[in-house]
């Protein structure tokens, strides 16, 4: 069984976001970029676990981006996987991204495509289901457990108020979240091996985007903190009433 894991690059949640070009783009200078946690900690690690138990024979990685995403995909290779592909395109449109990945997945003959449930930058959570539609494959989202036996995947997924267990024939696309695997960190051997693993760059077919980002807006700055003496309850009550508006 061949597994394809989709990897995306996102800003670290601790990095300071600076906008440019009249607030239409993120200034990458000084921004710390990481693998999307749902892709790394859950989708990729579960794929590696399936390989380690003999269920899968190959684990390949795919990402959509320009040359600046290569350090992130190399880190993913350090965790495991035989090879990676960078689809040479710069897109924030989920459908366009899905079309790029689906086009490659068709050529690779993959039995299982694993994605994170969403990326932590745009939180669309839509790319995986679009890939499934384009591949004419089943899709299961919010997976907390993934097992594969022969040609059947058994998936426990989170639903409102509980969980349900679904089965689907391969090929299938599964969106993974917390619980599906335990996070790993690359070891030195994996980091060294990643330097020589294949990282192919392919040019996708021309696909028109259906959405575009018009502008970004930073959240309002947090207000200053006022300290009130523990002995001055009258001042605290006044602030809660006049400023916090909770009394």
- With a cut of 80, say whether residue 203 has pLDDT above it: yes
- State mean pLDDT over 40-65: 96
pLDDT above 90 (res 228): no
Q: How far apart are CA 25 and CA 21, in angstroms?
A: 6
Confidence band of 71 (pLDDT split at 50, 70, 90): very high
Q: Is the pLDDT reported for residue 230 higher than 90? A: no
Decide if pLDDT at 224 tops 80. Answer: no
> Has this prediction a pTM greater than 0.85?
yes
Q: List, in order of start, the domains of the chain with CATH numbers.
A: 2-242 (3.40.50.620)
Query: Measuring CA to CA, how many Å separate 150 from each of 47, 56, 66, 138?
Result: 15, 10, 37, 16
Share of the chain above pLDDT 70, in %: 100
Quote the pLDDT of residue 220: 84
pLDDT at 133 over 90: yes
How does the average pLDDT of the chain come out, rounded?
Answer: 93
> Given a cut of 90, is residue 110 above it in pLDDT?
yes
90 burial (CB, 10 Å; 0-12 / 13-18 / 19+) is exposed
Residue ranges of alpha helices (H) inside the chain are 37, 45-52, 70-79, 94-108, 127-135, 188-194, 233-242
Per-residue confidence band for 239, with pLDDT thresholds at 50, 70 and 90: confident
Higher pLDDT, 114 or 223: 114
| Interatomic CA distance for residues 66 and 91, integer angstroms | 10
pLDDT grade for 45, boundaries at 50, 70 and 90:
very high
How would you classify the pairing of strands 2-6 and 112-116? parallel
**Given pLDDT bands bounded at 50, 70 and 90, which one contains residue 30?**
confident
In angstroms, rounded to a whole number, what is the distance separating the alpha carbons of residues 189 and 48?
Answer: 16
Instruction: Measure the CA–CA gap between 203 and 200, rounded to whole angstroms.
Output: 10
Query: Which pLDDT belongs to residue 64?
Result: 97
Pick from 86-90, 106-110, 166-170, 217-221: least confident: 217-221
Residues 136-163 pLDDT 10s: 999 999 999 999 999 999 999 999 999 9
Q: What 3-state DSSP class applies to 98?
A: helix
């Amino acid at each position: 069984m061949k597994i394809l894991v989709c990897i995306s690059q996102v800003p670290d949640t601790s990095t300071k976001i600076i906008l440019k070009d009249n607030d239409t783009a993120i200034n990458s200078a000084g921004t710390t970029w990481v693998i999307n946690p749902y892709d790394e900690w859950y989708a990729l690690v579960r794929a590696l676990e399936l390989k380690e138990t003999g269920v899968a024979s190959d684990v390949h990685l795919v990402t959509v981006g320009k040359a600046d995403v290569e350090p992130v995909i190399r880190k993913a290779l350090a965790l495991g996987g035989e090879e990676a592909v960078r689809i040479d395109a710069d897109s924030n449109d989920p459908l366009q991204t899905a079309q790029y990945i689906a086009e490659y997945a068709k050529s690779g003959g993959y039995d299982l495509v694993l994605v994170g449930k969403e990326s932590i930058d745009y939180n669309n959570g839509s790319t995986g289901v679009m890939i499934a539609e384009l591949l004419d494959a089943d899709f299961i989202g919010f997976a907390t457990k993934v097992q594969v036996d022969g040609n059947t995947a058994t998936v426990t997924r989170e639903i409102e108020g509980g969980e349900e267990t679904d089965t689907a024939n391969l090929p299938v696309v599964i969106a993974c979240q917390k619980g599906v695997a335990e996070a790993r960190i690359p070891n030195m051997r994996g980091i060294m091996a990643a330097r020589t693993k294949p990282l192919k760059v392919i040019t996708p077919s021309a696909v028109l985007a259906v959405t575009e980002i018009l502008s970004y807006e930073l959240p309002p700055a947090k207000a200053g903190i006022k300290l009130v003496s523990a002995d001055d309850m009258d001042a605290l009550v006044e602030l809660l009433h006049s400023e916090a508006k909770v009394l």
